[in-house]
Structures are given as structure tokens and as C-alpha cells.
């Protein structure tokens, strides 16, 4: 261990300062050792004082190259979909891949100079950096026109908890647009933007895509850099495209995929061209004769995905029928069982509270990534009452479950869940040796009616509204497999049979074979009309 010699004016640590810290940890030192360790900690403080400002190495944007103007909170937020409006673009784009397109960023994604609420009033943060995906979108010629509303701390699946207000379903006011990328789903569906970025830790791209009748892809873990975004945990965090159709989804993925030298979740190897050539492969499939589009592909209808407790049978029937239509496109379609799929949700929900230090307290560790030093400095070692009160029911429950688990179970519970989730990943891999993709309903029930009083309805009611909503989506966050939601029909809501809302079909692929998900989705989309199917 190398010791830094303190300067004359450096902080000097005394035994008097160290003693209460020791007592708080249940430790004691002899007087001699207390003096020596105080001297060592004085050296530690000198090392801290010698550190340069890390802002110099952060991806701070060149505002002449990437100007942003007209930053404001809109009076008309499109039924809750907008958090903040802005016009941000590159004056000298590197390509015209997204030329003329407008894009919304989920409001947990950093765009320098624009507030980033993460859907909550827990802290106020205006980033000084741009997320990698934001820079890549502007470099591809698109214009970012705002931040889309997201649910409170990105921990809700029903769109009534954002600090900026409830987000209404584009097909029926008063119903959920899904979450947590609720604003992104609505804005794409209504045509307010051409494209949007969502983030997904348990289904937060796919759930609103299903609810809003659009296409949403959770890419393979690590394919798209998560640099410059607020997340839950590096092992679960995914970001990806949301679009009106599959080709646009592939186009946006092509613009944002690939290593950025910050995010160590990304492989430092070539991926056989599939990493950056998605649109060509999608176009190649849709130009084929209908009956040959998916020739040679094997599609597995994942039985457990249709057996979620209290699922809506209408949705199961619609998705199963949509999956069977893939045989008309040349695919071989048959059933497959992956028993671990049913067990994954309980493991995920038990595992989730252990992520509280990173997701709510701003602690970051264990990965080579961009650390958001300014944002994490806004929260202490524990939440204040005001910060806790600013959370939605999902986030507040997670914090309380974390405190409970720390006291009653310790770190062993987290370790146990982490090991069990490895078997979930292995079980998908075994099934995907025999199938190119697996099919489930994205969400087992139609979107719920928004509560009259938003998140003040109380945690039990709001969390029961989201019951089972993650059952088919959260497993692939744990395993890293790509999964896309494609609209395939409409189903009546539980509250009113005259209100019919979109139904999504989820297509799960092998890791780093996102193109298989896109090809299957594109073939179905180009052959059938989901609004009349």
C-alpha cells in the first residue's frame, strides 16, 4: 500500500474523530493502534485531496457541435407523455441513418442542460453529460425533441406514478400506457415522435410497447451501452428502441448499438456483422415471398408463458393464434416447456431489493462504467423522510424490503438469488438450441384503468394492479436474452368490455441474435394486419 504524504494544510484525522466511527461499527482499538490508524487515514485524506476533477474525463458534450435550445416544461404534455421539451441535434452528423427523424429520450437518460427527473421528485438533477445513445442519435442525423415521462424511479408498470403526472393510453384515455417507459410508448403511438428510447430492467420497454400498440426491443444485455443513464443494477439494465414498426426499430438499434469504451457490459469482439447491419437483414426478409420469409426457422411457443396465474384468456388466445400464423411464413412452430420461466419471477422479485443501494441511493460499484458522481452525491447513505415520501409504491416497497432483508437475511439472500438466476439463463439456452426464438404474450392481462387519485391510492391497490405484469418480461432481464414486443391484436379490458386495447406478442431470441427477433417480427408485421387480426 502506497501512502500519500499530507501537506501542511491537509486534513488531519484524529483518534477523537475515528473513535465514534469505530463504535458505530462495533469495533475497538488500543490507544497505540488508534494513533497509528489515524495517521494512516490522514494519508488517505491526502490522497483524496490530490485527486483531479473527474468531470474532465466525463463525456461532456461540445455544445457548438451538439446545440440544444428551447428547453422548457410544456403546458400541454400530451396526456402526460412529455416531461421536458428541447431541440437537440448535431450540426455535422456522421451519417444520415436517422436524418429527418425526431426522437424522445426516456427521462432517466442524461442530456446535458436538461433536467432528468427519473420520474420522481426525490432529487433534482440537471446533468452535465450526454448519454452515449443521445450522442449516437444526434450523430446519425436525428433531432432529440424532448424527454419522455417515466414512472417513479422506473419501478412501476402502471402509468400513474410519475412526478410529471399520469400517462394515458393512446387508445383509451383513463387507461394505463404501461411502464416504466410510459411516455416513450405513448409518444411513438400518437406520432408525436418518430422514435423513442426506453430503458428496461424488468419489462419497461416491452410493457408500454404492448399497451400502446408499438414495437419495443429489449436488446441483448450489453449490446447497447447504458452509459449516462440511471438504472437499477448493471446486471439488469438494458436500453433499446421503441418505434411504430419493426424496420424503424431496427434502424434505431443500428444507430445506437456497439461498444463505447465506457460500459464494460459490452463484448470487445466482433459479432459477425449482426451488431450494426440490422436493417439490411430485416429488409431481406420482408422482400421474400410470404411463404418463404421464415423458411428454416424454428419457433417455440413457450408453454409457461401462457400459464401465468390469473392471466386473461383472451390475450392467450390472440397471441397463440398470432404465433401459429408464423407457420404460414415458412417457420416450423411447436410447443416447448421451460419450467424455470415460471420460477424466475419470484427469484427476480426477491433479488430486486438488494439493488436499492445502486437504484435509489446512488451507489455504484463493481463495473467499469461511467459513474454519475454528481447525481449520486444528491442522496445519502439512507433516504430522508422527504425522499422516501417522494417515491411511488413500487420504489418505497423496494426500499423497505431492502431494509428488512438487510436486517433479517443479510447478503446471503442476494447471493442465493443470483445463483438461481444463472439456471434461468441456462434453461433458455437449452431451449434455444432447438428453437431460433420463443414466443409468449408480452403481458398476461390488458392495461388497467388508471386510479382516480394516482399513486395516493395506496401501495396495496396500485401494486395489485400490476400483478403478474412482469411475469413474461423480467426473466430475460436476468438472463440477457433479447426480446421484442410486437402488436398482434386487441383485447377487451377487465373494467369495460367495450374498451379494447392492444395486445403484444413477445419474441425471445438467442443472445446477440437480436436480428432473429427482428426478422420474425418483421415477417409477421409485413404479412398480417394486427388491427384486424
Residue 408: active-site member: no
Which is nearest to 395 in space by CA: 108, 156, 53?
Answer: 156
Angle between helices 411-431 and 340-351 (to 10 degrees): 150
* Candidate list 192, 204, 396, 427, residue with the active-site label: 204
Residue 396: active-site member: no
Instruction: Give rounded-to-5 percent helix, strand, coil for the chain.
Output: 40, 15, 45
For residues 86 and 114, is the Cβ–Cβ distance under 8 A?
Answer: yes
> How does strand 437-441 pair with strand 298-302?
parallel
DSSP state of 420: H
* Sign of the four-CA dihedral 151, 156, 158, 160: negative
* Candidate list 89, 106, 218, 519, residue with the active-site label: 106
Which is nearest to 101 in space by CA: 150, 145, 149?
Answer: 145
Alpha carbon separation from 160 to 154, 168, 363, 422, 464 (Å, rounded): 12, 8, 27, 33, 14
Report the b/e string of 32-60 with b at 16+ CB within 10 A. eebeebbbebbbbebeeeeeeeeeeebbe
d(CA 122, CA 230): 13
Residue 221, C-beta contacts closer than 8 angstroms, at least 6 positions apart = 235, 238, 265, 479, 480, 511
* Three-state SS at 294: coil
* Three-state SS at 243: strand
Which is nearest to 526 in space by CA: 256, 290, 337, 273?
Answer: 290
Residue 491: active-site member: no
d(CA 424, CA 416): 13
* Candidate list 148, 180, 455, 491, residue with the active-site label: 180
Angle between helices 15-24 and 31-50 (to 10 degrees): 100
Task: Compute φ and ψ for 530, nearest 5 degrees.
Answer: -65, -25
Catalytic residue ranges: 106, 180, 204
Amino acid at each position: 500500500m502506497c501512502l500519500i504524504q499530507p501537506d501542511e494544510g491537509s486534513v488531519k484525522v484524529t483518534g477523537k474523530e475515528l473513535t465514534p466511527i469505530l463504535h458505530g461499527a462495533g469495533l475497538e482499538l488500543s490507544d497505540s493502534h488508534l494513533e497509528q490508524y489515524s495517521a494512516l487515514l490522514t494519508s488517505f485524506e491526502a490522497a483524496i485531496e490530490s485527486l483531479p476533477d473527474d468531470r474532465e474525463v466525463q463525456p461532456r458534450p461540445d455544445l457548438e457541435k451538439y446545440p440544444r435550445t428551447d428547453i422548457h416544461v410544456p403546458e400541454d404534455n400530451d396526456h402526460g407523455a412529455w416531461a421536458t421539451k428541447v431541440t437537440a441535434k448535431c450540426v455535422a452528423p456522421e451519417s444520415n441513418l436517422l436524418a429527418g427523424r425526431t426522437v424522445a429520450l426516456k427521462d432517466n437518460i442524461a442530456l446535458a442542460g436538461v433536467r432528468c427527473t427519473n420520474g420522481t421528485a426525490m432529487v433534482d438533477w440537471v446533468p452535465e453529460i450526454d448519454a452515449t445513445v443521445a450522442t449516437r442519435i444526434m450523430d446519425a442525423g436525428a433531432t432529440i425533441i424532448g424527454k419522455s415521462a417515466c414512472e417513479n424511479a422506473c419501478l412501476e408498470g402502471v402509468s400513474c406514478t410519475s412526478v410529471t403526472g399520469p400517462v394515458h393510453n393512446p387508445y383509451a384515455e383513463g387507461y394505463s400506457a404501461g411502464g416504466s417507459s410510459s411516455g416513450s410508448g405513448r409518444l411513438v403511438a400518437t406520432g408525436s415522435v418518430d422514435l423513442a428510447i426506453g430503458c428496461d430492467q424488468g419489462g419497461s420497454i416491452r410493457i408500454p410497447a404492448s399497451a400502446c400498440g408499438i414495437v419495443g426491443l429489449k436488446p441483448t444485455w450489453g449490446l447497447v451501452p447504458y452509459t449516462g443513464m440511471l438504472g437499477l443494477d448493471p446486471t439488469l439494465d438494458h436500453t433499446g428502441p421503441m418505434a411504430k414498426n419493426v424496420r424503424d426499430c431496427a434502424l434505431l438499434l443500428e444507430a445506437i448499438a456497439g461498444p463505447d469504451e465506457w460500459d464494460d457490459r459490452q463484448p470487445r469482439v466482433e459479432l459477425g456483422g449482426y451488431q450494426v447491419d440490422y436493417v439490411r437483414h430485416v429488409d431481406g426478409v420482408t422482400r421474400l415471398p410470404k411463404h418463404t420469409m421464415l423458411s428454416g426457422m424454428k419457433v417455440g411457443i413457450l408453454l409457461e408463458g401462457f400459464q401465468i396465474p390469473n392471466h386473461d384468456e383472451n390475450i392467450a388466445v390472440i397471441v397463440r393464434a398470432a404465433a401459429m400464423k408464423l407457420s404460414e411464413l415458412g417457420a416450423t412452430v411447436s410447443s416447448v416447456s421451460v419450467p424455470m420461466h415460471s420460477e424466475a419471477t419470484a427469484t427476480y422479485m426477491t433479488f430486486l431489493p438488494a439493488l436499492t443501494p445502486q437504484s435509489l441511493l446512488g451507489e455504484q460499484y463493481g463495473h467499469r462504467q461511467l459513474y454519475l458522481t454528481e447525481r449520486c452525491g444528491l442522496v445519502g447513505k439512507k433516504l430522508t423522510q422527504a425522499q422516501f415520501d417522494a417515491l411511488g409504491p413500487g420504489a418505497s416497497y423496494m426500499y423497505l424490503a431492502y431494509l428488512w432483508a438487510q436486517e433479517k437475511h443479510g447478503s446471503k439472500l442476494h447471493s442465493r438469488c443470483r445463483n438461481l438466476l444463472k439456471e434461468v439463463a441456462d434453461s433458455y439456452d437449452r431451449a434455444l438450441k432447438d428453437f431460433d426464438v420463443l414466443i409468449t404474450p408480452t403481458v398476461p392481462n390488458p392495461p388497467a384503468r388508471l386510479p382516480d387519485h394516482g399513486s395516493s391510492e395506496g401501495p396495496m391497490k396500485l401494486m395489485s394492479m400490476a400483478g403478474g405484469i412482469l411475469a413474461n418480461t423480467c426473466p430475460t432481464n436476468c438472463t440477457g436474452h433479447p426480446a421484442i414486443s410486437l402488436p398482434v391484436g386487441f383485447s377487451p379490458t377487465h373494467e369495460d368490455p367495450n374498451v379494447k386495447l392492444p395486445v403484444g406478442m413477445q419474441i425471445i431470441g438467442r443472445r446477440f441474435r437480436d436480428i432473429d427477433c427482428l426478422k420474425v417480427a418483421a415477417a409477421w408485421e409485413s404479412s398480417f394486419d394486427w388491427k384486424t387480426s
